Structure 1
Amino acid sequence: MNRFEPAQTSVQMALTGFRSLAKIGAGSQKIVFRAERNDGNVCAVKLYPVDTVQRGSRAEREIQAITAVTGPQFATFHGMRRLPIEGVEFVVIEEEFIDGDTLKSRMSGTPLPISFVRHLGGQLLEALRVIEACRLVHRDIKPDNVMISSADRVVVIDFGIVRHLDESSLTATWAPRGPMTLAYAAPEQVSNDKAAIAIRTDLYAMGLVLYEAATGFNPITTGVSRDTIPGRILTHSPEELARVRPDVPAEFSRFVHRLVEKQAHRRPQTVQAARQLFDRIQWSSL
């Protein structure tokens, strides 16, 4: 389903209070702008078209999530309004603009320093602790959805396919797969095992992100054709991290491999359990 996208001049006319808008991203559900207010302050503006029931439902779920999660690991929510633009109704969200790069850009296929990987792991665990407490599952933890500020603040963004555990699923039970980014999807997402979707789904994706941050490559997708990836997600175990990068602490290598276990019940069942494992890692060599 194609997303309706209004002309930027129409958006500028509809959004009062801003002297400039610069489009910085667009997906199937929203358009994102860097916006400068008339007072000179900068924020991010997200436009969600709600021209269909499906889009409206997804937008509502994402907005519920971004207003629920709080803390330095998330963009601060500023406000929301509804506007017609070119005859289509939009929900408009204003939130903090994160001035930095995505983790994907920071990595660029190159292993990151272990000290930063440690920092990243701790910050992602804190983000997932908040997400878990809100009874949410992000379902799209990946390098493109992690922003790194110039001061190395780690911010999780894009709750576009968030799952609310206390609400009915928007994904059809008969669908062969659930919403996901294939390269970081857990086995239960590939098989659309909705009953198994929980915070451990996000912990799996976090494990792949940490593996990639430490090595410079995704162990599921690198060097294989796309049509083989779903099968690899279900059956392929990544090579031991400590063998690929010998300077990582052995406990960290074991921690990452616990996160990317194929069977969900073999992963840490809560963020607190994952944090306990992480806190036992000996980083003294750094």
Structure 2
Amino acid sequence: MPLNVGDVVGERYRVVRQLGQGGMGAVYQAWDTRLNRPIALKEMRPQAGLDAATLVQLRQQFQQEAQILATLTHPNLVRVTDYFSWSGNEYLVMDFIEGESLAHLIKHQGALPEAQVLGWSQQLLDALGYCHAQGVLHRDLKPQNIIITPEGRAVLVDFGLVKLWDPHDPRTRTAMRGMGTPEYAPPEQYDTGPGHTDPRSDIYGLGATLYHALTGQSPPTATQRMASPSSFLTPRRVNTSVSPATEAIVLKALEIQMDRRFNSTQDMAQALNSARRAPQAAPRPTGPVERQGLARTGRVAMPTSAPMPTSAPVPAPIPASAPPPISEASPQKRKSIFLGLGGIGLAAIGLVCLGLAVGAVLLWRNWSDGNGGEVATQQPLVGSQGATPASIATEPLVSAPTAVSAPTATTAVGVGMDQVLWEDDFSSTASGWEVSSYNFGSVDYIDGAYTVISLGDGNTMWGIANTWYSDTVIDVDATQVSAPANNNNAYGVVCRDQNSDQKTGYYFFIAGDGAYAIAKAQEGAFEWLVEWTASDVIRQGNTSNHIQAVCAGSTLILRANGKELATATDSAFAAGDIALAAASLEADPTEIRFDNLVVTVP
């Protein structure tokens, strides 16, 4: 039975009021009659119907846990000062923390300011990292178990489901029975066998907590997400003021698969530091909108002083059925793409930090690789993928020709798999790419590929990955499904997109007529770092090409089908999103399907 106000427990602690109650007991504010100070008293009630031997074992485990918890000292952890048995129940005595629970703040204020949430998350990550170093997992992270003090300190309380964890022994033991709160518990926590949770389980709980704080609503449970991926809305779809970089962290922390989450709190804290320094993008529209203003912004006349290439590589022989090769760069292409590439692209990146996630980008090696969470990248990078709502456009806007070469799986040239940051075969819409339709075209998952359609007249369509990287090598197979009769188009890869309504970042283009170029996009206009040039390396017409884009510091390299085409240097953008783009430079549309994406470290 619950304790009543005025009850004295253990001949020392007088109950003042109940603070909370759960299935395994309750927490009370009490008064220590010996030391004359307020304390928090957690009551653990044994599960009904347990036999005597089991009760003895649970009490022994509880005592061992309490002894370990009493050794933990950290400014963002509640301190355990005593434990005892009384009237058949077990009790923990903790410092009483003055303040409000994070759950109370969210309930009364809704979505909280991102900067404030990120500050708290850094504190909590530091506390969790300290616990994990001592071999302790919390396993019940949620807004109700975080107290925000009047001076702004975030304190983690309630270790009722704590697990004693040894990274060298997967058969660690759980003293307190329970699975945590469903909205914040990772799927592995529902497994009753030994050794199924580790520090990444706490990272999931923190990610779910951050999601709630940033959006004002709790995420669906892990089982709901697995049964119905569309039930999970990425943070920016709920609250567009969340930055893309923060959303990426939250999504990575909330990955269903453990090996896709951050390996450690240190990794997540590094990503969080990068997110706090990342530029804040203005909210983007989430559905079809008119973009005439953006189109006008992008249609800036291209300077005519740039010299035309005087010669071009001689094309290799091609089948008679293919479009004829070009022998030099086409002035019409260069003019049209500059005048007309008026942008389209959407953002759905970035969520938050109290445990962070989503997603599906592998920035660090798997927990099980035995390297103790060794960072595989040379610097903290942010990336994540999360589930997206059902697509707006379910059918391609342009019918595909009957004869199209299927893309072939291609691996990144000369890159070891331990350097892979992220792979995506676009078989699942849960990988988090932008899905939307506009008056100029659309971006969507179609038939196991990511499809970008430009409806023509020189308009550029691009779809963002909802990630945030600095230095990357991006490999992808690109298949032209349809295009103008003269193949006057452009398609390819974008790195360091700034998640703006206008084109930004570095564009690595090839074209259906065999040309290539590298451009910097700022404020919706292109500056050509490498002018359009013809190449016999690029397969022409409705067929597949493998594109590789390298963004390493100020160095930009474009490769196609294993051959280097162009190099440029520019330092305008240090980090940003990945995108896939297409533009049709005639009245007829262009449809490009991208597949077998691999993102690696340069």
TM-score range, shorter chain: 0.7 to 0.9
Secondary structure at the aligned position of 2:17 is classed as strand
Alpha-carbon offset, residue 89 of structure 1: 4.1
* Whole-angstrom distance in 2 between the partners of 1:220 and 1:138: 21
Structure 2 CA distance for partners of 1:45 and 1:243, relative to 1, 3 Å: closer
2:71 corresponds to which residue? 68
Please state whether the residue corresponding to 2:8 is helix, strand or coil: helix
Does 1:22 pair with 2:26?
A: no
Is the 2:70–2:82 contact (alpha carbons within 8 Å) kept by the matching residues of 1?
no
Tell me the matched-pair count: 265
**1:178 CA drift (Å):** 6.4
Q: What is the rounded CA distance, in whole Å, between the counterparts of 1:195 and 1:13 in structure 2?
A: 35
| Structure 1 unpaired stretches of 5+ | 172-176, 222-228
Question: CA RMSD of the aligned region, Å?
Answer: 3.1
In 2, the alpha carbon distance for the partners of 1:193 and 1:235 equals 26
The separation in 2 between residues aligned to 1:154 and 1:284, in whole angstroms, is 26
Equivalence for 1:164: 164
Q: 1:178·1:192 contact (CA, 8 Å) conserved in 2?
A: no
- The code of the aligned residue for 2:56 comes to V
User: Structure 2 CA distance, aligned partners of 1:129 and 1:92?
Assistant: 26
3-state SS, counterpart of residue 111 of structure 2: coil
Structure 1 position 34, deviation (Å)? 1.5
State whether residues 187 and 234 of structure 1, in contact with CA within 8 Å, keep that contact through their aligned partners in structure 2.
Answer: no
Partners of 1:43 and 1:265 in 2: how far apart?
39
Shift of 1:241: 2.3
Task: Tell me, in whole angstroms, the C-alpha distance in 1 between the residues paired with 2:197 and 2:15.
Answer: 41
* Length-normalised TM-score, structure 1: 0.79
Q: Does 1:56 align with 2:59?
A: yes
- 2:524 is matched with none
CA shift digits 1:203-248 (9 cap, x unpaired): 0111111111111112315xxxxxxx62425663733323433322
Structure of higher CA gyration radius: 2
| Structure 2 contact 163–173 (Cα < 8 Å) conserved | yes
Aligned partner of 2:81 in structure 1 is 78
Are positions 1:12 and 2:11 aligned together?
A: no
Contact 1:58 1:160 (8 Å CA) reproduced? no
Scaled by the length of structure 2, the TM-score of the pair is 0.40
Q: 1:13 to 1:132 in 2, by over 3 A?
A: closer
Q: Which residue of 2 is the match for residue 225 of structure 1?
A: none
Gaps of 5+ in 2: 47-51, 282-602
**Separation (CA, whole Å) in 1 of partners of 2:93 and 2:219:** 36
With a CA cutoff of 8 Å and minimum separation of 6, indicate the structure with the bigger relative contact order: 1
The whole-number CA distance in structure 2 between the counterparts of 1:20 and 1:190 is: 34
Structure (1/2) with the larger helix percentage: 1
Partner-residue secondary structure (3-state), 1:108: helix
Relative to structure 1, the CA distance from residue 27 to residue 140 in structure 2 (aligned partners, 3 Å threshold; closer, same or farther) is same
Q: CA deviation at 1:60?
A: 2.9
Report whether the alignment pairs 1:272 with 2:266: yes
Quick one: distance in 1 between partners of 2:56 and 2:97?
30
CA distance in 2, matches of 1:104, 1:283: 28
Structure 1 SS opposite 2:236: helix
- Confirm or deny: 8 A CA contact 2:39 2:96 kept in the other structure: yes
Which residue matches 1:174? Answer: none
State whether structure 2 residue 42 is matched by structure 1 residue 43: no
Rounded to whole Å, the distance in 2 between the matches of 1:43 and 1:255 is 36
Aligned residue type for 2:229: H
Secondary structure at 1:155's aligned position in 2?
A: strand
Q: Following the alignment from structure 2 to structure 1, what is the Cα–Cα distance between the partners of residues 64 and 183?
A: 23
Counterpart residue number, 1:259: 253
